[in-house]
Structure 1
């Protein structure tokens, strides 16, 4: 039992460290504030466009805020049906000291989307009513010492009165709307990732009848979201994209995002983009020095290639997907990195055994280091055998300098993912890596599934072997392969 609990704790720790955005309330029952600070959890920065926003299972502020029962089972959004009145406590305050007292009573004041906390007190021009949170205030004894002192200073009696508050759809949070609509007892959690103006969902089977409504609610409740899509299959296609269904909005799939200070544009429906990898991109780029060469075997639209080039590295970036290849070129130009990047549109294995093999002898004789990035976690470990005998017959003596350093990604469902990816990488290379590599936990993809990065200097006995990879080694499924194109103008 102890190893299982430790593994779960490590997963929670890693999740918090690797997310761009941490919704702190949903962790409050699991982690103390001290733990959150220790692992560096932080709220979303307004400068980060890539956001992951879960809708946690939690009770509303009060049972008072449950919408009318008639909305249950609604599949076509009727906003007018979400209208009802609730009674909330209120405190009568003199108008001339209203601002000072409102600040002192901030802890107990009502906070609902779109609700004014200060309202007119009938026809009394000298007073206003401050609406209070019924979850915090039920009687005069609910006020703290500081609040009681502030009220006493201005002679305000601790007398509560009821106020009939009209609530509508606009005053509800997205999870409250969905909890009221979906059948009771069914999970309404629907985490989504935000990619520019697009909210991307992975709906469960019982949520599908409500998918259009869910899309409209998320678009209503999240400013800047103008398109909501649902993934309809797994990422098992040739080009690592997946089929999507537009649930709400304009259907515009060309997103513009900002990650770590760089801007990327791409058609989200035709390329692979994961907003949860921002920290990993930044970590690897932080290992680079000006003058290094980066070989990005599965480059996508450029999240490694662009910042590496802007850091002063020469970059060879490849991707099999023609759409990724085109957007890679576009993003290099958009970020003024195109002069340092050569782009290729090839199968990853052909790229390693073609352009990289041709360039590598000269690169090894240079002053800069060579980093090979292989971010295709479903397959990349199997591609390592492409390095067997890559420079066979030349001999290490002819190639002074440090050996290429490989950063290869893989998924693991094993109890010891570090050992698992190390063993698989060793088997693919045909040379043991135990004690010669480092393994980094990137993120938790799903329960019992981790994304790992194994980093190592490419062994001499692999690179200069006389034996190359066996025939029939796995390749990216490719309908066709295209030649490379130099990215310089």
Structure 2
């Protein structure tokens, strides 16, 4: 590895050329740059790897990000014959032996190497998005928290930006560079209204900054394929980890109620794991995409789509699951082929294939988990759990081994030190449930685990609170 001084020299040498800040069209030709270096021409082509290792060990080799130290010989005739060179550190100069190390001098004397000039040409394709932005955006436009606008939500081929005011004069440039530097992106949009402010369905107004005005996308997440119109539904690729986390908390064969299911990022992968899901979304367009994605991913046995108000769906889901269970509804696990090898008397190996019997998986009578991924308002839906299992006390502990459902409610809270945001979330949950909830172990009655999911703004965080519905809430009379 190069020492810190050499790294700093390289950083100063291999940087984009100075480009005048502009609000106009992106001129990619301005980013061409030639760096004059020295290269070690290898006489014996078979020893390239050996010389590369030796020069790297003595810190003479050029080490730069996204640069190969092995290059064709600058003489095109020799290059066509397979001659290769090793790029050398900028402190090594061709024709100036005083800058050569003893290893290089000795190799040149023995005619094992030749030190030749080499012009390293870099163009727009070489520079990263951040390096290009640093050239194009004046320092005054940069946000003190975000620096450059690097983060975006990607849905299939669409990159969704939420640009701050300081970047708006440069939005076209930003979008063009984003498409250039992200091969999977064909369209860039910018949000022009807060999610939830103008639409109860969490959709938003947007403008096309670059690329096609085609927001019908296909996204892949957690081994599932989702197709949807991004202009009409909610999708956030930054929540993939949270989708995976919750899905892996569910046990195959149990029932989950996803109150704000969207297009199915929790429901569909859970169905693939053999979890029964009653998936609901209030947005008709989300419901259409949800239903289509259930079929596309072949989880119709396990996932059912609904288009209802989540408040009334809490009771409806519990009642429908109980009715489905008592009527004997079930899924059928397809037989699996099992291969087994065994040794025959003559020493030959034989392959034997058998099939597992078809298995009926009954729908249980109760819901094990509720998912509420509507962070702006999900907590306000909690009063509707009162009376969830009124008159069905016999289905749960201590009458059976079944516990009351676990609720996973997403919400926002202000950034603060220590446990303050988590305590605030618990207080809000307790107020809506009209039952005590404190921070702690979700398996302990009256306690909740609150996990920070991600930052959504410099002073705003998204959390997920998990707790079991208190018995006083679940068994209260329905009013």
TM-score under structure 2 length normalisation = 0.74
Tell me which of 416, 430, 437 is aligned to 1:433.
Answer: 437
Q: Is the 8 A contact 2:321 2:364 kept in 1?
A: no
Find the aligned partners of 2:366 and 2:99 in 1 and give their Cα distance: 67
Match of 2:218 in 1: 256
- Cα RMSD (Å) of the superposition? 3.6
- What displacement does 1:361 show? 7.7
Find the aligned partners of 1:161 and 1:62 in 2 and give their Cα distance: 23
Equivalent residue runs for 1:48-447 within 5 Å:
61-69=11-19, 71-94=20-43, 96-97=45-46, 99-101=48-50, 103-104=52-53, 108-109=61-62, 111=64, 117-122=70-75, 125=78, 128-132=84-88, 134=90, 162-187=117-142, 189-191=148-150, 192-236=152-196, 237-359=199-321, 366=364, 370-392=368-390, 394=391, 396-397=393-394, 401-413=402-414, 415=416, 416-434=420-438, 436-447=447-458
Change (3 A) 1:286 1:150: farther
Question: Counterpart of 1:62 in 2: which secondary structure?
Answer: helix
Deviates more, 1:291-300 or 1:59-68: 59-68
Match of 2:344 in 1: none
Q: Is the 8 A contact 2:294 2:300 kept in 1?
A: yes
Q: Is the 8 A contact 2:314 2:384 kept in 1?
A: yes
Find the aligned partners of 1:213 and 1:59 in 2 and give their Cα distance: 30
Change (3 A) 1:259 1:338: same
Find the aligned partners of 2:231 and 2:265 in 1 and give their Cα distance: 17
- What displacement does 1:337 show? 0.7
- What displacement does 1:406 show? 1.1
Find the aligned partners of 2:225 and 2:100 in 1 and give their Cα distance: 49
Find the aligned partners of 1:430 and 1:78 in 2 and give their Cα distance: 61
TM-score under structure 1 length normalisation = 0.73
Change (3 A) 1:170 1:391: closer
Q: Is the 8 A contact 2:379 2:429 kept in 1?
A: yes
- What displacement does 1:61 show? 3.2
Q: Is the 8 A contact 2:43 2:113 kept in 1?
A: no
Find the aligned partners of 2:104 and 2:242 in 1 and give their Cα distance: 50
- What displacement does 1:184 show? 4.1
Q: Is the 8 A contact 1:118 1:131 kept in 2?
A: yes
Q: Is the 8 A contact 1:115 1:171 kept in 2?
A: no
